[in-house]
Amino acid sequence: SGLTRALAARTLAPQVCSSLATGPRQYDGTFYEFRTYYLKPSKMNQFLENTKKNIHLRTAHSELVGYWSVEFGGTMNKVFHIWKYDNFAHRTEVRKALAKDKEWQEQYLIPNLALIDKQESEITYLVPWCKLEKPPKEGVYELATFQMKPGGPALWGDPFKRAVHTHVNRGYTKLVGVFHAEYGVLNRVHVLWWNESADSRAAGRHQSHEDPRVVAAVRESVNFLESQQNMLLIPTSFSPLK
């Protein structure tokens, strides 16, 4: 089968999947936790106000990369945030410390739990060919999620990388980071983009659709694509990524 051949290729030639495989990042240890909270419709503002007031209690324990409210794409009344950890032992230490932090528990956790309908967590690695970039000024973000065919980066890593770099090189949008899922739905890649506004993002997208180089790169990568979705994210006032 295709999966068997991909696994065999990975065993015989590890360098084949080096462009997107999480291996080098696993040796480094650093990973990023994607957390999504689905809030009760009438409680969104209350949740954000309480989070703004008390987020310093949480960031005292580990690094917050960004915190956004979801404007478009999928379920409404949703917040999305990214946390950085040195390794899994570090995250375990942080969670233990939070469980003992009475101020955090009483001022943030307990009041906010009643405002949340559902929580989701996903563990990701930043791909080896991409470093986390900070945008030059405030704007809006797009999280594009790609569900790739089974087989792993050995199968679709290089075409996906070319598609991303073609968009970046043509200047239609600014790349913040590319993340490969380690825990959650496998063979999933998230690309976080930045634009000055939703309108500038739309204009760049229309231009890219007419660019032969972008079209060619995308056509190659979609051969390995099962589905995709996106969200437009608005950074909160307390988000490190603005």
What would the pLDDT profile of 33-60 be if each residue is shown by its tens digit? 999 999 999 999 999 999 999 999 999 9
Nearest Cα to 50, choosing from 120, 119, 104? 104
Mean pLDDT of 3-12: 40
Nearest Cα to 147, choosing from 163, 162, 160, 165? 160
pTM of the model: 0.85
Would you state the pLDDT for residue 21? 47
Would you call 15 helix, strand, or coil by DSSP? Answer: helix
Chain Cα centroid distance, residue 63: 15
What would the pLDDT profile of 125-177 be if each residue is shown by its tens digit? 999 888 999 998 999 999 999 999 988 777 888 888 888 888 777 777 899 99
Reply yes or no on whether the pLDDT at 81 is more than 90. yes
End-to-end CA distance of the chain: 45
Chain Cα centroid distance, residue 65: 10
